[in-house]
Amino acid sequence: MPEGLRALETWMLRIVTHPGGVDAGFEAAQSEGLLPAGTSSLDDLVPPNDRLSAGEQLHVYAFAYFDRITDVLRGEYPSVELLLGPARFGSLARDFITEQPSRTYTLNRVGVPFSSWLAERAGDDPLLSFAIDLSLVERALDEVWDCKAEAPVAYEALQVIPPDRWDRVRLDTIDALQLFELRHPISAFMNGVMRGDLDGVPEPEPSWVCVYCTLAGRYRIPLSFEQHALLSSLVDGATLGEAIEAAATSEGADVPAMLAGLGGWFRDWTERGLFRAVELLD
C-alpha cells in the first residue's frame, strides 16, 4: 500500500471512529501524530464544498460507522434489544463498538465478543445477566447457520441395531450443533419475542438449550438436565452406553424418567437430524 494512502486511511479511521465525534477524533489524531505536517484544522484535510463543511463530510462517515455496526448487532441480538429496550441497547452497542472495534473484513464476525463483553460489565444487573444468556443463544443461531449442511442419519439406522449392542454404538453429532447450560429460562422469553407477545422477564432458573441447523433450517429447542448431559457426552465422542451412564450418574438426574424417555428422545433427535453417522464398535 502506498505510504500516502496508508497515512490517509489511518487518520481518517481515527477521526470517524472516535466515540467523542469528529472534532474529538481530529484532536486525538493530531495529538498522536497521525496527521500530515502543517495540519491545523479539518479544512486542511478535506476541502469544504458549497454544501458541506469538512467536518460535516467526515461526520457522514462517522455516523455511518457506528450506525451500521449497531444495525448488525440489532439483527444478531433481537431478543437482547427487546429485553433492554432500544435506547439502552443502542448505548451499550456504541460502548461495545468503541471498546471492541471490528478487526475483520466481514460484519458477520463483529458481534462475536458481545456475550463476553456483556459478562464483564453485568455485575449485579439482573437484566444484563439475562441478556448474556440470550446473546449466547442468539449468536449460536448465526454460527450454526454458517456450518456446512450435512445429511442426517435416518432413525431406521438405529432400529436395526440389536438392543444388546446399544452400549457399543457411537452417534456422531452434526457440526452445526451447540449445547448450552444457562442460568435463566430463555426459551419462553425468546418464543414470546417470536410471537410478539412478551410477558415480563422470568426469574433466574437453570435451563438447557440445543441450537442446531440442518438442511431444513436452524432451530432452538429446550432440553432437560438429563437430555443435556446425554447429548453433551455424545458430542464429546462417548459411546451411547458411556453417555447414558454419565447422564444417569450426574448429580440430580431423574434416572427413572430418563430411562423411560430414552426411546422417544432418540427418535426425536434423529428425526430432527442431530446425527450424521452411526458406528457400531467391535
CB atoms within 10 A of CB 124: 6
Q: Quote the domain boundaries for residue 201.
A: 143-280
Which pLDDT does position 274 carry in this prediction?
A: 96
How does the average pLDDT of the chain come out, rounded? 89
Domain boundary among 114, 139, 164: 139
Domain boundary among 112, 139, 166: 139
d(CA 84, CA 90): 9
Q: Does 21 lie in the same domain as 135? A: yes
Q: Does 158 lie in the same domain as 114? A: no
Tens of pLDDT, residue by residue over 51-94, are: 888 778 887 877 778 888 999 999 999 999 999 999 999 999 99
DSSP 143-156: HHHTSPP-PPPPTH
Cβ proximity of 108 and 69 under 8 Å:
no
Domain boundary among 139, 161, 187: 139
Give which of 208, 151, 143, 209 is closest to 176, Cα–Cα. Answer: 143
> What is the rounded (10 degree) CA torsion for 243, 176, 180, 153?
-30
Helical (H) or strand (E) element with 209: strand 207-214
95 pLDDT above the threshold of 60: yes
Mean pLDDT of 116-138: 94
CB atoms within 10 A of CB 102: 16
2 pLDDT above the threshold of 50: no
If one counts the domains in the chain, the total is 2
Q: Does 106 lie in the same domain as 155? A: no
Q: Does 157 lie in the same domain as 105? A: no
Q: Does 123 lie in the same domain as 13? A: yes
- The CATH number of the domain where 230 resides is what? 3.90.930
Q: Does 264 lie in the same domain as 198? A: yes
Pairing state of beta strands 177-182 and 169-173? unpaired
Q: Does 232 lie in the same domain as 182? A: yes
Q: Does 134 lie in the same domain as 152? A: no
pLDDT confidence bin for 1, thresholds 50/70/90: very low
Say how far residue 220 (Cα) sits from the centre of its chain.
Answer: 13
Q: Does 176 lie in the same domain as 151? A: yes
Which pLDDT does position 103 carry in this prediction?
A: 81
Range list of H helices, the chain: 3-16, 22-31, 54-76, 78-84, 86-99, 114-122, 126-145, 156-159, 186-195, 225-235, 240-248, 255-272
DSSP 35-97: SPTT--SGGGTS---SS--HHHHHHHHHHHHHHHHHHHHHHH-HHHHHHH-HHHHHHHHHHHH
**Residue pointed to by grid coordinates 452434526:** 174
Which pLDDT does position 9 carry in this prediction?
A: 80
Tens of pLDDT, residue by residue over 190-218, are: 988 878 777 778 889 999 999 999 988 99
Strand, helix or coil at 222? strand
pLDDT confidence bin for 3, thresholds 50/70/90: low
Q: Does 36 lie in the same domain as 162? A: no
Tens of pLDDT, residue by residue over 31-55, are: 888 888 778 888 878 888 888 887 7
Q: Does 223 lie in the same domain as 261? A: yes
Q: Does 221 lie in the same domain as 123? A: no
Q: How far is CA 182 from CA 26, 191, 254, in A?
A: 44, 16, 19
